[in-house]
Amino acid sequence: MALARLIEAALQVRQQAYAPYSRFQVGAALELKGQESIFVGCNVENASYGLTICAERMAIGAAVAKFDLVQYPPQRIVITASPIAAPCGACRQVLAEFGLELEVVCLDPETPTNWQTYKISELLPNSFRLAHVPKELTNTPRES
Ligand code: THU
């Protein structure tokens, strides 16, 4: 998929952010390997601040609601916020769940030509993964 399509989706969904407390609006657009769909998310804040949902986690949730992400792992996510920002620690962990190849593109909505690209493995080295959970504690069939 063309990067321009993902960027457009991220910029658009950022406008939907509900951020009356921080005024920091974030938009995210995610594509999966082998799929044409785009999954979007924006941050949703709450009067009980800690309940805030980040844009990236909403985008992952939207994708999970449609596809098996083990079969179609996240390939690229565009995240847009002003000033430009990389995903928070919690989102890095959630983004890393379905594969370490994910490309994370952070984009400034004011200057969309200004972006930074990372691999999720670079943003969250040595991540905690399914393979670390002892087999007998899970009911998920897996190879290792
Ligand atoms: N936020 C995100 O949506 N994604 C991130 O990775 C960082 C932070 C949101 C949460 C909150 O609504 C606002 O940005 C300020 O922290």
Tokens of 78: 């565009």
- For ligand 1, mutation pick of 24, 48, 80, 107 (most atoms within 8 Å of CB): 24
Q: Is residue 142, in this structure, part of any structural domain at all?
A: no
Rounded to whole angstroms, the Cα distance separating 31 from 72 reads 9
Q: Is the CB of 95 under 6 A from ligand 1?
A: no
Q: Is the CB of 45 under 6 A from ligand 1?
A: yes
Q: Which domain holds residue 63?
A: 3-137
Instruction: Calculate how far, in angstroms, residue 65's C-alpha sits from the geometric centre of ligand 1.
Output: 22
> Total structural domains in the chain?
1
Q: Which CATH number does the domain housing residue 121 bear?
A: 3.40.140.10
Check pLDDT > 60 for residue 144.
no
pLDDT tens-digit profile of 42-96? Answer: 999 999 999 999 999 999 999 999 999 999 999 999 999 999 999 999 999 999 9
Q: Is residue 143, in this structure, part of any structural domain at all?
A: no
Measured over the CA atoms of residue 78, residue 84, residue 86 and residue 90, the dihedral's sign is negative
Q: For the whole prediction, is pTM greater than 0.75?
A: yes
Q: Is the CB of 91 under 6 A from ligand 1?
A: yes
Q: Is residue 70, in this structure, part of any structural domain at all?
A: yes
pLDDT tens-digit profile of 4-16? Answer: 999 999 999 999 9
Mean pLDDT of 109-121: 94
Q: Is residue 122, in this structure, part of any structural domain at all?
A: yes
Q: Is residue 144, in this structure, part of any structural domain at all?
A: no
| Atom 6 of ligand 1, nearest CA residue | 87
3-state secondary structure the chain: CCHHHHHHHHHHHHCCCECCCCCCCEEEEEEECCCCCEEEEECECCCCHHHCECHHHHHHHHHHCCCCCCCCCEEEEEEEECCCCCCCHHHHHHHHCCCCCCEEEEECCCCCCCEEEEEHHHHCCCCCCHHHCCHHHCCCCCCC
